[in-house]
Structures are given as C-alpha cells and as structure tokens.
Structure 1
Amino acid sequence: MPLWVFITLSAALFQCWRTALQQRLRGQLSLNGAAVVRYLYGVPFGLMILLTYWLIMGGSFGPVNLGFIGLCALAGIGQIFGTNLLISSFGPRGFAVGTAYSKTEAVQAAVIAVILLGEVLPALSWLGIAVSLSGVMYLSLAGRGLKGADILRATTQPAALCGIGAGFCFALTSIFIRKANMTLPGEDAILKALFSVVVTNVIQTLLQGGWLLLREPKQLLAVFRTWRNSMQVGALSAFGSSCWFVGFSLAPVAMVRAVGQSEIIFTLLFSRFFLGERLKTKDVLGALTLVSGVVLVLVGALR
C-alpha cells in the first residue's frame, strides 16, 4: 500500500473521531465555540508532531515567504467555514448523513485541481468519483420522488446545502494547502506539510478566537472551561490535519480527497456506537455506495 493511502485513511479516522467529539461539545458550546477548540487546542499538539518528526528525521526548509503565509491563511479560512457548515449540517438529518453530504468535496476537489493545478486522473478514478457522488445523491433523495421538483427540494434542504457547502470549502482548503507546500522552499515534503499545519492552526486560532472575543466573549470562557473535552478534540484535529497535509504533499489532491471518502465507514460506526444515532437502511446503502466509489478510485490510481 502506498504511504499516502495509509496516511489518508488515518486522516479519515482522526477526522471522524474529532468531529464526533465536536458534535458532543455542541451541547456545551456555540457553533463557533465548538469549532475553535480544534485550532486553539490543536496548536500545541501540532508543534509536538512537528518537533518529533524533525528530531527523528532532521531536515530543513527555506525561508518563509508571504505567498506561503497567504496560502495558509486562505486554507485556514476555508477550513473554518467548512467546519462550521459541517457542524450545522448534523442537525437536520444527523451526524452520518451530514458528513456524507460533505463528501462531495472529492468531486469538487477533482474539478478544481484539474483547473488550478493541472492534475490528471485516470478514467477509472473519475468513474469512482462519479459512483461516490451517486451515493451522496441517493442519501439526499432517499424516501423522496424523482420528479424535478422533488430533486430540487432534496438537494436544497438544509443538510444538503450545509454539507455540500462544507465540501466546497474543504476542497478549496486542499488546493491552498498543496499550493502552500509547493511555495515553501525545501526538499522534505512531510516536514513542510507539518510546518504548514502549525502555521495554519495559529492563523485560525487568531481569526476565530478573535471573533469569539468580539462577538461571543462568554463562549471564549466556556472554551477554556471545557478544556478536558476540548483538548481531546484539539489532539485529534492536530493528528488528522497532519495526515491530510502530508497526504496532499505526497499525492494529487483529488486522489487524497477521494480516498478520504472512506471516512463514511468510520462515521457510520461512530454515529451508531458513540453518538447513539439510529441509522436507516437507505442511509447505510448510500454510504456503502460512496465506499464502492473509493475502491474504484484506488484501483484506478494503483493500476
């Protein structure tokens, strides 16, 4: 198995685990409060991961430039909006379905990467992405008619709009991350990716933390009061982001995001056994269709 595939699967697991914990925090914090903990508490863990890698592997990279900082800022802003939209999507139809809608990011990332980065995907991988998208559509349309008006209502429901919007933001984040790694001088792609995680999380903490300070000061205090649970979210976020950033540095964005759709398997397990949500048969079938698409993507990539 290529290293980037293993790293991407790890990223999917960490992300699902972290999002499930964030969903629990929604009972104690506002939307922005639950979102900011992943950055605020993620910074020290990100530094730990970066220093551990550097102490073991060594290496260096060139001077930080404004282009790199700007791209990290754009990636951070995209991730902030994506996280808020993702959390918002859970309310209407639950954790599993909200996450499934956000997985349209694979298709969106593929199209954006082709346009902005010139990435090329094999035909079988494109087929896999299409199959995954059909799984998302099945989730959206399950229990509804197939007339034009029914399709329009299903794809404009709150869960769909928030989830697909989150996918778009995460797709843009992926592009900015890869561009940031390419902008930073140096030969060790993994070291540069881990440094990018720390820089991005610091920027995110300043941006969303500043928003809380100005608009929701009581929530900022609540973020510190819930430090035990919030620290777990931060740790998982740091490990997950590190894996995503490294994956983007080692393989095309579209491939990483497509394989990352395997998160839906972890999501179903967390939804059922961690959050206690009851899953409908149609939701499981739609999710499994997503996974079959991921398998096709991998087969196409490894041929």
Structure 2
Amino acid sequence: MEIWVLITIAAAFLQNVRSAMQKHLKGRMGTTGATFVRFGFGVPFALSYMAILAFVLDRPMPVPGAAFFLWAVVGGLSQIAATFLLVHLFSFRNFAVGTAYSRTEPAQAALFALVFLGERASPGTLVAIAISVAGVMIISVARSVVSPRTLFTSLLTRTAGTGLLSGTFFGISAVAYRSASLALAPTLPVPDYMVQASYTLAFVIVLQTLVMLGWILMRERAELPRIASAWRPALVVGFVGATASFGWFMAMTLQQAAVVKALAQVEMLFTFASTVFIFKERINRLEIAGCALIVVGVLALIAYG
C-alpha cells in the first residue's frame, strides 16, 4: 500500500477526533471561536513539526517564491470561506441538502486541478471519486425527508447554492495547497514531501490565525475571554488539528488533491463506527448504503489512484 494512502487514512481519523472535540468546545464559545481554536492553537505544533525537520533531522528548508505565496494565500483564504459557508448552512431549515452538495469537494477539486494545473485523472479514478461522493451525499440526507428527485430539483435553491459554493472553496483550497507545496520542490536539493508539507502548513496556519484573529478583534471581541478560558481542551484540538493537517498536506504533495480528498471520505466511516460502537446509536438503511458506497469508492481509489 502506498504511503499517501496510509497518511490520508491516519489524517482522516485525526480529523474525526478533532471534529468531535470542536463540537464539545462549541458549547463553551461561538462558531467563530471554535473555528479559531482549530487554527490558532495549532500554530505552535505546526511550527514545532517544521523545527524538528530543520534542526533535529537537519533537513534543508525551501526558499519560497511568488508562486508559493500566491497558492498558499489562495488556499488559506479559500478554506476559511468554505468553513464559514458550511457553518452558515446550519442556519437553513433544509441544511441537509446543502451539506450534501458541499460534499462534492473531491469532484470539484478534480475539475480545478484539470483547469489550473493540467492534471488528468484516469477514468477509473474518476469513477471511484464519483462513487465515494455519491455515498457521502446519501449519508448527508439519510435522516431527512429528501428524495433523489428533490435532491436534484433543488439545485437552484439558496441552500444548494451555498453547499456547492462551500464545496467549491474546499476544492480550490485543496488544489492550492498541493500547488503551493509542489512550488517548493525546485528550491530544495532533493524534493522532500515532509519538508514541503510542513513549510506550507506553517505558513498557511499562521496566515489563517492572523486573519481570524483580526476578524474577532473587529467583530466578535466577546469570544476572546471564552477562548482563553478553554485553553486546555483548545490545545488538544490544536495538536490534533495541526497533526491531521500535516497529514493532508503530505498526502496532497504525493498525490492529486482530488484523489486524496476522495479517500478522505473514510472519515465518515470512523464517525459511524463511533456512533454504533461508542454511542450505541442505530443507523438506517440509507446510511448503511452510503457507507457501502464509500468503501467501494475507497477500494477503487486504492486500486486506480
């Protein structure tokens, strides 16, 4: 099994842990504060990973150029926009449809990679991506009164548009991160995916932290004391989140962003495993069908990716 597959699965598991902990924090602060924690408290860990590579393992560091900064800024800001849109979906009454469309991220990433980078996916890989996306979309609407017909006829609604736009920004951010990391390779004696990923992560997470901190200072100052009072669990969220992101960046340096993001849908399987075995909740037939499609898509990705 290729290293990018193992890294992606590990990152998906850690992201599932981070998401669960962020939900816990959501009860102690607002959406903006819980989102900021993901970035702000991840900074020391992201910088530590880069420092270990540079000073402990003596790996040469890259010299970033204009292409790196352009793609890194596009990726960082796109991820913030995508996250805010995804959170905004929950204010809609029929948010399940919008959430389902936001899960088209891997398919949109494949399109952006073709347009901006000229990366072509094989027919087998495209089919695998389509299968996994279908599985996640089914799970997203499994507990709502939504039929396949209404899912497609709702394409022109505001909810669907918000979901698709969220998926668009997530897709752009994934492709941009891969582009930023690859832009560092020519500045190294030998391409080093760990160094490229850690450097990209460190720059992006500092940028996102500064942008979000600026927003909080201007618009939501009341969040600051709530964030400060929850610093202990926030540090854990930061550690898990930064480690998961390091995994994503390494995987996307080694493999096309669309393929990595499609394989990352295994996070849903971890979520359902927790639901069934830890919280003892039942899942319905549509959710089982969605999980089965994700498994089929993942196996196909491993075979063709």
**Which band: TM-score by shorter chain?**
0.7 to 0.9
Q: Compared with structure 1, are the counterparts of its residues 182 and 40 closer, same or farther at alpha carbon in structure 2 (3 Å cutoff)?
A: same
Q: Deviations over 1:30-82 (max 9, x none)?
A: 11111010110000011122222334542213423343223222111111122
Count of aligned residue pairs for this structure pair: 299
Provide the residue aligned with 2:175 in structure 1. Answer: 175
Q: Does 1:43 align with 2:47?
A: no
| Equivalent pair of 2:109/2:171 in contact (CA under 8 Å) | yes
1:217–1:8 CA distance, 2 compared to 1 (3 A):
same
3-state SS in 2 of match to 1:182? helix
Distance 1:96 1:268, change over 3 A: farther
Q: Provide the C-alpha distance between the structure 2 equivalents of 1:280 and 1:157, rounded to a whole number of angstroms.
A: 28
* Match runs of 1:54-203 below 5 Å: 54-89=54-89, 102-139=102-139, 142=142, 143-147=145-149, 149=150, 151-153=152-154, 156=157, 158=159, 163-184=163-184, 185-186=187-188, 187-203=191-207
Q: Deviations over 1:171-209 (max 9, x none)?
A: 111111111122222232320210111110100010011
Give the AA of the match of 1:144.
V
SS of equivalent residue, structure 2 residue 60: coil
Output the CA distance in 2 between the equivalents of 1:97 and 1:235.
32
| Between 173-182 and 282-291, the greater mean CA deviation after superposition | 282-291
* Corresponding residue number in structure 1 for 2:223: 219
Of 240-249 and 23-32, the range deviating more from structure 2 = 23-32
- Residues 239 and 207 of structure 1, relative CA distance in 2, 3 Å threshold: same
Structure 1 unmatched runs, 5+: none
User: What is the CA-CA distance between 1:277 and the residue it aligns to?
Assistant: 6.5
Q: How does 1:286-297 map to 2 (within 5 A)?
A: 286-297=290-301
Q: 1:298 to 1:74 in 2, by over 3 A?
A: same
Identical-residue share of aligned pairs (%):
33
In structure 2, the residue matched to 1:235 is 239
Distance 1:272 1:223, change over 3 A: farther
Paired letter, 2:251 = G
- RMSD over equivalenced CA pairs, Å: 3.0
Q: Which residue identity lines up with residue 106 of structure 1 in the other structure?
A: P
Contact 2:97 2:141 in 1 (8 A): no
Which amino acid is the alignment partner of residue 67 of structure 2? Answer: G
Q: What letter is aligned with 1:8?
A: T
TM superposition score normalised by structure 2: 0.86
SS at match of 1:175: helix
Q: What are structure 2's unaligned runs of at least 5 residues?
A: none
Q: Is the 8 A contact 1:106 1:261 kept in 2?
A: no
Comparing 117-126 with 52-61, greater Cα deviation is found at 52-61
Give the drift of 1:161. Answer: 5.4
Question: How far did 1:261 drift?
Answer: 1.5
Structure 1 residues 276 and 217: CA distance shift in structure 2, 3 A: farther
CA displacement at 1:91 relative to structure 2: 7.4
Give how far 1:100 is off: 6.3
Give the Cα separation in 1 of the matches to 2:52 and 2:98: 35
Residue pair 1:43, 1:201 contacting (<8 A) in 2 also: yes
Alignment check: 8 A CA contact 2:103 2:137 kept: no
Describe the superposition over 1:224-270 as per-residue Cα deviations: whole angstroms up to 9, x where unpaired.
11112211111111001100111111112222112112111112234
SS in 2 for 1:217: coil
Answer whether contact 2:128 2:300 (CA < 8 A) is retained: yes
Q: Distance in 1 between matches of 2:221 and 2:279?
A: 29
Post-superposition offset of 1:284: 3.0
TM-score (norm: length of structure 1): 0.86
Of 203-212 and 268-277, deviating more is 268-277
Aligned equivalents of 2:94, 2:26: Cα separation in 1: 13
C-alpha distance in 2, partners of 1:150/1:199?
39
Distance of aligned partners of 1:115 and 1:58 in 2 relative to their CA distance in 1, 3 Å threshold: same
SS in structure 2 of the partner of residue 212 of structure 1: helix
- Alignment check: 8 A CA contact 2:13 2:270 kept: yes
